[in-house]
Amino acid sequence: MKIKNLAIATALFASVATFAQKDQLKAAEKSLKSGNAAEAKEILAGIENMIVNADEAQKAQYHFLKGNASFELAKKNVEVDKNLAEAAKAYSDLMLVEENSGKVKYTTQAQTSLTELKEQVRNSAIADIDAKKFKTGALKLYQTYSIDKKDTVMLYYAANYALNAQDYDLALDYYKKLKDVKYSGKATNYTAKFKANDQEQTFPSAAQRDQAVKIGTHYEPKTEHVPSKRGEIAKNISLLYIQKGDVPAAKKSMGEARANNPEDVSLILSEADLYLQTKDYEMYKKLVSEALAKNPNNADLYYNLGVISSQSGDKQAKVDAEGYYLKAIEIDPKYKNAYINLSALKLEGEKEIVDAMNKLGTSDADNKKYDVLKAKRATLYKSVIPFLEKANELLSDDQDIKTTLLNMYYALDMTDKAKALKAKK
């Protein structure tokens, strides 16, 4: 009899608890309808521990109401970040409950709210990034990815800004997730300028872009091919492992990336960079040769090799970098960045000359040394000027290039060229 009474008591307790949950859910719903989201959330907090044992319909209603209450509070600027995060989780939990139960009641409404919520979180992330709050921006971008796992570009940006924040563990986590979902980022963008405001707009397809140009609403159509990001991702994973002092893990990760995408030239370049960073120059040269064999007439490839080589402290790598930039220019005489990077690379030698000049005294011997160094700097400037002039021709709005050129002209007493350039400013 005692056992039976206990069973009856337990059943009665469960029944009372079920009715109490229903009453609380109704009360929370009523508070929300009356515009009191804070009260609704407080009511829901009171049954949070009990909802685990509720039936699927009550669980779904609970999560839906919690999502709505949190979202409403965020809209009213009440603990915005916290409430947006809680709303996103509540809506996601709701959809999971209804997916598992097979009974859909709130999912469609929740998806609509999530779309709006995602946009708010993204805008908040952009505001943080503009304010140089890179970590909080990265976390919010990751949140937008969590809301919609198809939007992998948000995960890519989250990883980049975590890296900017120098939170290497977080960045590594995000980059590894990108690798796991096989993110490429390779795309073709179809753009044209809108005549009403001269702003560039992106179209879903070339046909739609071309139609807009044809009817006269847009002009200056462009097609931009965005290269694969896999090489960059693999490179950053490897560099982060190196940052943590784990070179074997860096090489293993890169090896896996190459094995999965053996024909991806960007990955070959990233692996070359890895071996350059670890001072394995023989392996670096082998990989460079492999990349060049695949694309012997690719200006971008030579440019990227120039960038990789120029980042090394090794003198021979610097010499190689100059050769790669020159080859890129030979293939594409209008390669703007190659001219700029080549000029910057050559001007790295100026610091050593200037430092030596500044250490000299005023004796006759020092004055002679000064003249020799001055002539050496003049020779350096003369070797750089043709490339900077070409860069200035291709990038006429870049004031940094103009300023550098002017300083060189004045240093070399090239007053006519200085006056002509200054007149164009």
pLDDT tens profile 195-236: 989 889 999 899 999 999 999 999 999 998 888 888 889 888
Give the model's pLDDT for residue 74: 84
* Same domain? 6 vs 116: yes
Residue 120's contacts (CB-CB under 8 Å, 6 or more residues apart) are 74, 84
Residues 110 and 221 in one domain: no
Given this model, what pLDDT does residue 14 score?
43
Instruction: Assess whether 119 and 6 both reside in one domain.
Output: yes
- Residue 360 resides in a domain: yes
Question: Is residue 362 included in any domain, yes or no?
Answer: yes
54: domain CATH number is 1.25.40
Q: What is the pLDDT of residues 257-275, one digit of tens each?
A: 888 878 888 888 888 888 8
Number of structural domains found in the chain? 3
pLDDT at residue number 342: 92
pLDDT of residue 3: 43
In a domain, 62, yes or no: yes
Regions of the chain short of the pLDDT cut 70: 1-20, 425
- Examine residue 415 and state whether it is found in any structural domain, yes or no: yes
Of 107, 131, 155, the residue that ends a domain is 131
Alpha-carbon span 238 to 254, nearest angstrom: 7
Task: State how far the Cα of 254 lies from the Cα of 267, in Å rounded to an integer.
Answer: 8
Give the pLDDT of residue 2. Answer: 46
* Residue that terminates a domain, selected from 131, 155, 175: 131
On whether both 27 and 109 belong to a single domain, the answer is: yes
Q: Sign of the CA dihedral 248, 251, 254, 258?
A: negative
pTM value > 0.75: no
CB 87 within 8 A of CB 74: yes
Whether 113 and 193 share a structural domain: no
Domain span including residue 82: 2-131
25, part of any domain: yes
**Residue 150 maps to a domain:** no
Q: Which of 131, 161, 177 is the last residue of a domain?
A: 131
Of 267, 278, 201, the C-alpha closest to 239 is 278
Residue 41: inside a domain, yes or no? yes
Q: Are 31 and 125 found together in one domain?
A: yes
Question: How many angstroms separate the Cα of 260 from the Cα of each of 231, 248, 254, 263?
Answer: 12, 19, 10, 9
Q: What letters, b where the CB count within 10 A reaches 16 and e where it falls short, cover 116-136?
A: ebbebbbebbeebbeeebbbb
| Residues 11 and 103 occupy one common structural domain | yes
6 and 126 together in one domain: yes
Burial of 315 (0-12, 13-18, 19+ CB in 10 A): exposed
Residue 261 maps to a domain = no
**Residue 248 and residue 319: Cα distance in Å, rounded?**
29
